[in-house]
Each structure stands twice: as C-alpha cells, then as structure tokens.
Structure 1
Amino acid sequence: MTVPVIELSGVSRRYDDGPPALREVSLTVRRGEAVAILGPSGSGKSTLLNLIAGLDRPDAGTVTVDGVRVDLLGEAGSALHRRSRIGMVFQFFNLLDDLTVTENVVLPARLAGTARGEAERRAAELLELLGVARHARAHPGRLSGGERQRVAVARALMNRPALLLADEPTGALDTAAGQDVSELLAALGAEGQTVVLVTHDLALARSCTRRTVRIADGRITEDLPTGTGAPEAVR
C-alpha cells in the first residue's frame, strides 16, 4: 500500500465564538492520489487546506504531511516545510509583477538555497513543459490569466514538492483558460504528482481528480471516486 502524504486524525478548528469550522475531521491522502475537496463557501474546505499547509493550527487532532507533524511546527518550521515539501497554487496567481516569469519561478529554489544556475535550468525545463517558455523574460502583467496560472504552477513545482495544493485555481479565469489549467492539473495527477484541489466546482473536480471528498458544516459528508485525469503527461 502506498505511503500517505496527508494524514489528519480527529481535527477540529473553531474561530472566536462562532461554530466550529472543522469538526473531528479525519482524512488520508496517499502518494500519487489526485483528490478534490468539494464544498460551498463556509463549508470548511479552506480551513482544511490551511491546516494541511501549516498556515493554521488545529484546536484538536493531528495533521501529518509527508511524515511531519505540521501541527507541532512553529512559524519558521512551517515555512521551511512548505518551501521544501508543498507547492501551492492560488486563485489569483500571487506572482510578483516586478520580477520576470523566470525570476518568479526560481524564487522558491533560491530561498531554499539552490544554486542560481541549477534553479534556472529547472525553471526553464518547467516553463517548457508547461508551454510558457516563450514568456520566460516577460513580466506577469503581460500574460493572459491562463498563462499566469501556468507560471504559478511552475513555481509551485520548482522544489519537486511531495504535495501540490491548488485553491480554486480556475476561479479567476475565463472558460477557455480554466479548461487549459484543468487539463494541466489532470496531467500532473496522471503522472503521479499528489494533488489536493480545493474547489466548489464539481465539473473541475471531475475533470482532473480521481477522488472527491465533500465537506459541509465542517464535516466530511462523502468520500468517493470521481473522474479520471487527462492523457497528456507533464512532469
């Protein structure tokens, strides 16, 4: 049986005096799985992603990612763990407009201490594989939304993470660009990259993951197989 990349056991989280954002959630994601976390706004899916990423701490339960208890890490330890083991893709890209595409992509590797030449070779390889190599010297503001999201995926993959987290990655894109990014995520999953996609979009979940975990009112209500990935491979 494949080794889990994510293990949550009895995780709960409450903010202030409101109802629990998560209620005793347990979840396992094994290496090579592509999983969608599906739910409406306020369901707890973003809280779940933040706990997996080490951006938040549970009030109860344990969170283990790639063999590390992230719920026990301090702020600096969490940042180092994300840098080396987790790639993150956001709805609004979070690219730095004053840096070129290549400079954005190499940034995680440079922060991790990778030599500039090695980092730039890795960036060039990723940009070529993701179909945006022609924009290597451009600034993000000159790219379309779909192209910027491909650059964001390249940046997320820069340090060869054990886990790729995608938070509503097509939410800011038009239909055509959203389909393009959906096919890219499906291809990554087909190649064995562990992917957790957080979305409210069932069609996106079906197109690029093989398992759907539904969450409502802070609880997992369903955990079932879903669609299959695209055939084109991206490493």
Structure 2
Amino acid sequence: MTTPVIELRDVSRAYDDGPPALHDASLTVRTGEAVAILGPSGSGKSTLLNLIAGLDRPDAGTVTVDGVRVDGLGEAASARFRRAKIGIVFQFFNLLDDLTVADNVVLPAQLAGMERKKAHRRAAELLETLGIDRHARAYPGRLSGGERQRVAVARALMNRPPLLLADEPTGALDTASGEDVSELFTELNADGQTLVVVTHDLALARSCTTRTIQLVDGRITEDVRPEAVR
C-alpha cells in the first residue's frame, strides 16, 4: 500500500461566531494520487487547502503532511516546511512582475538555500520540460495566461515537493489555456506527482484527477472516482 502524503483526522475549523467552515473532516491522500476537491462557494474548500498547507490551524483534529504534524508547527517552521514539501499553484499565478520567468522559478530554491548554479540548472530543466524555456528571460506580463500558469507550476515544483496543491488553477484562464493546464497536471501525475486540486471546474476534475472529494457546508459528503460523477 502506498504511503499517505496527507492525513486529516476529525478536523474542524470555525471563524468568529459563524458555523464551522470545516466540520469533523477526515481524509487520507496517498502517494501518487490526484485528488479534486469540489464544492460550492463557502463549502470549505479553501479552508481545507489552507489547513493542508499549514497556512491555517484547526480548532480540533490533526493535520499530517508527509509524516509531519503541520498543525503543530510554529509560523517559521511551517514556512520552512512548505518551502521544502509543498508546491502551491494559485488562481492568479502570484508571479513577481519585476522578475524574469527564470528568476520567478528560481526564487523558492534561493529561499531554501540551494546552491545558485544547481538552482538555475533545475529551473532550466523545468522550463524546458514544461515547454516554456523560450520565455526564460521574458517578464510574466508579456506571457499568456496559460504560459504564466506553467511558470507558476514550474516555480511550485522547484524544490521537488512530494505534494502539489492547486487552488482554482484554471479559474483565470480561457478554455484553451485551461485545457492546456489540465493536460499538464495529467502528465505530472502520470510521472508520480501527488496532486490536490481545489476547483469549481468539473471538467478539470474529470480530466486530470483520479478521485473526487465533495464538500458541502464544511462536511465531506462524497469521496468518489471521477467516473462516478459523469
């Protein structure tokens, strides 16, 4: 049996005096899985992603990622852990417009203390693999949305994280670019990358994931293969 990359046990999280954003959630994601987290706005998808990434802490329960209890880490230790173990792809790319594509990709390695030449070799490999090496010296603002998302994926993979999280990765893209990103995620997962995608896009979930988690009002209501929701 493959090793769990994510283990949530009886996790709850509430904000202020409102109802729980996440209620008594338990979830295991194993190495090599590609999981889509689906649900309407306010269902708890972003809360779940933030807890897995160590960007938030639960009120109850435990969150373990790659064998580490991330809910017990301090702020500095959590940042170091994310840098080494988790790649995150955002809806609006979060690239630095005053840095070139190559420098954006190299940045996580620099923060992690990787030797400069090694970091630039790794960045060059990623850009070539993702088909955007010709844009290495360009600035993000000159690229299409799909190309910028590929840069964001390269940056997220820079430190070879065991887990890749994607938060609405096609939400800011046109249909063609969205399909391009979907194909990219499919290829990454085929190469063994563990992937968790938060999305409203059922087509994305069907095309590039092997499992679908449905959230409603902070509760996991379904845990199925994509074929079952067609």
Residues of 2 paired with 1:152 and 1:11: CA distance?
29
Mapped pair 1:119 → 2:116: no
Give the whole-Å Cα distance in 2 for the aligned partners of 1:81 and 1:6.
14
Kindly report which structure 2 residues correspond to 1:167-178, keeping only aligned pairs within 5 A, or say none.
167-178=167-178
Per the alignment, in what secondary structure is the counterpart of residue 20 of structure 1? coil
Amino acid at match of 1:209: T
What residue number does 1:87 align with? 87
Q: Quote the residue 1:185 is aligned against.
A: 185
For 2:200 and 2:137, how far apart are their aligned partners in 1? 34
TM superposition shift of 1:174: 0.5
In 2: Cα distance, 1:119 partner to 1:75 partner: 25
- Determine what percentage of the aligned residue pairs are the same residue: 80
Q: Report deviation, 1:112.
A: 0.4
For these two proteins, the number of residue pairs brought into alignment is 227
Q: How big is the shift at 1:200?
A: 1.3
AA of the residue aligned to 1:81: F
Residue correspondence of structure 1 range 149-228 to structure 2 within 5 A: 149-226=149-226
Q: Counterpart of 1:29?
A: 29
2:176 and 2:200 mapped to 1: Cα distance? 18
Does the residue aligned with 1:185 lie in a helix, a strand or coil? helix
Structure 1 CA distance for aligned equivalents of residues 144 and 159 of structure 2: 25
Aligned mates of 1:14, 1:184 — CA distance in 2: 35
Which AA in structure 2 matches 1:27? L
Which residue in 2 is equivalent to 1:232?
none
- How far residue 125 of structure 1 moved from its aligned partner, in angstroms, is 0.3
Instruction: Supply the AA of the counterpart residue of 2:67.
Output: G
Most deviating of 52-61 and 185-194 = 185-194
C-alpha separation in 2, matches of 1:53 and 1:18: 23
- Residue 201 of structure 1: how far off its partner (Å): 1.2
* Whole-angstrom CA distance in 2 between matches of 1:201 and 1:177: 13
Question: Take 2:84 and 2:61, find their aligned partners in 1: how far apart are those partners?
Answer: 24
| CA positional deviation for 1:225 | 1.2
Q: Which runs of 5+ in 1 are unaligned?
A: 228-235
Amino acid at match of 1:60: A
1:5 alignment counterpart: 5
Residue 45 of structure 1 and its aligned partner are, at CA, apart by 0.6
Deviation sequence 1:134-185 (CA, Å, 0-9, x none): 0000010010000000000000000000100000000000011111001001
Residues 172-218 of structure 1: CA distance to partner in whole angstroms, max 9, x if unpaired?
00011111001001111111100000011111100100100101000
Secondary structure of 1:114's counterpart equals coil
Q: Which runs of 4+ in 1 moved over 6 A?
A: none
2:74 corresponds in structure 1 to: 74
Partner of 1:18: 18
Q: TM-score, normalised by structure 2?
A: 0.98
Q: Distance in 2 between matches of 1:93 and 1:47?
A: 19
Letter in 2 for 1:5: V
User: Secondary structure of 2:21's match?
Assistant: strand
State the TM-score, normalized to the length of structure 1: 0.96
- AA aligned to 2:107 is L
**Structure 2, unaligned stretches of length 5 or more?**
none
The residue aligned with 1:138 is 138
Q: What secondary structure does 1:161 align onto?
A: coil
Instruction: Give CA deviations for 1:75-94 in whole Å, capped at 9, x if unaligned.
Output: 10110000000000000000
